[in-house]
């Protein structure tokens, strides 16, 4: 009978190992997606910085253009005033006035174009800032991390519940070939520890049955009876996720 059980356990362990490898693959993919997103954010931030520099340059040019236009307006006003005060305007002054008026019209047109360009640059800058992924709040990050851990735990719950008992069986019968899987479980222990999950009980531990702290399929077990923990439980953030499973006798 034991060889059959051992073979079944080997198959279960192989399946669980595959599940764990698949999960680690998903985690790796998420890490790669995060790196890609960070690179994308870096590119957007670089574009925003470039647009801000272009906008600053245009604003400086606009200020200089406005100064020149003010100067030309004053020159034109002086010429027009001189023309009005003289009944006869010499031809050379008429030409100067015409040139100044044409120059002033050109500057006004350039000013309008500059203002349009600045408006477009402002819009591009706002668009880039809107596209930039805003950092999530610390509370949102904590909630997402907690949800991810809970989802992962649910997917691995069977493995997490049964593997400590399998390890105990391997200690009792060291010739079991499943012993080769123990290094895999050590990594899983470290993962759970980093995530903050705590084990409840130890396989083979003798305890007094408490229905609020244990679960059993044996209806004859009453509160206060001596029982053995067959499969451990877990808690997270002081909240019990799954209770330890107990029996009257621990399998030898």
The answer on pLDDT for 167 being more than 80 is no
Q: Determine the pLDDT at residue 220.
A: 93
**Mean pLDDT of all residues in the chain?**
73
Q: Any idea where the domains of the chain sit in the sequence?
A: 16-135
Task: Tell me the pLDDT band of 235, cut-offs 50, 70 and 90.
Answer: very high
- The arithmetic mean of pLDDT across residues 142-148, rounded, is 80
Which is higher by pLDDT, 46 or 247? Answer: 247
Structure tokens at 127: 């668009």
The highest-level CATH class for domain 16-135 is mainly alpha
Q: In this predicted structure, what is the pLDDT of residue 215?
A: 95
pLDDT of residue 229: 94
* 250 has pLDDT over 80: no
**Confidence band of 87 (pLDDT split at 50, 70, 90):** very low
pLDDT-based confidence at residue 84 (cuts at 50, 70, 90): low
194 versus 184: the higher-pLDDT residue is 194
- pTM for the complete prediction? 0.42
Q: Which of 186, 189, 207 is nearest to 198 (CA)?
A: 189
Average pLDDT over residues 27-34: 71
> What is the pLDDT at residue 164?
78
Asked whether the predicted pLDDT for residue 4 surpasses 80, the reply is no
């Amino acid at each position: 009978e034991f060889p059959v059980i051992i073979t079944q356990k080997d198959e279960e362990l192989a399946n669980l190992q595959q599940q764990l490898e698949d999960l680690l693959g998903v985690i790796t993919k998420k890490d790669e997606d995060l790196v890609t997103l960070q690179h994308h954010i870096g590119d957007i931030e670089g574009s925003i910085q470039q647009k801000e520099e272009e906008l600053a340059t245009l604003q400086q040019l606009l200020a200089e253009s406005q100064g020149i236009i003010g100067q030309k307006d004053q020159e034109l006003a002086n010429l027009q005033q001189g023309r009005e005060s003289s009944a006869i305007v010499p031809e050379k002054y008429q030409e100067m006035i015409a040139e100044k008026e044409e120059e002033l019209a050109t500057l006004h047109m350039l000013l309008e174009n500059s203002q349009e360009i600045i408006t477009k640059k402002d819009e591009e800058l706002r668009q880039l800032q809107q596209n930039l992924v805003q950092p999530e709040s610390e509370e949102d990050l904590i909630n997402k991390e907690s949800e991810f851990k809970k989802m992962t735990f649910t997917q691995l719950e069977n493995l997490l519940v049964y593997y400590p008992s399998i390890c105990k069986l391997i200690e009792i019968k060291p010739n079991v070939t499943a012993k080769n899987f123990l290094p895999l479980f050590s990594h899983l222990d470290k993962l759970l520890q980093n995530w903050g999950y705590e084990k409840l009980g130890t396989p083979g531990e003798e305890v007094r049955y408490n229905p609020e702290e244990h679960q059993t399929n044996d209806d004859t077990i009453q509160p206060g009876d001596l029982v053995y923990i067959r499969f451990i439980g877990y808690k997270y953030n002081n909240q019990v996720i799954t209770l330890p499973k107990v029996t009257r006798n621990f399998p030898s």
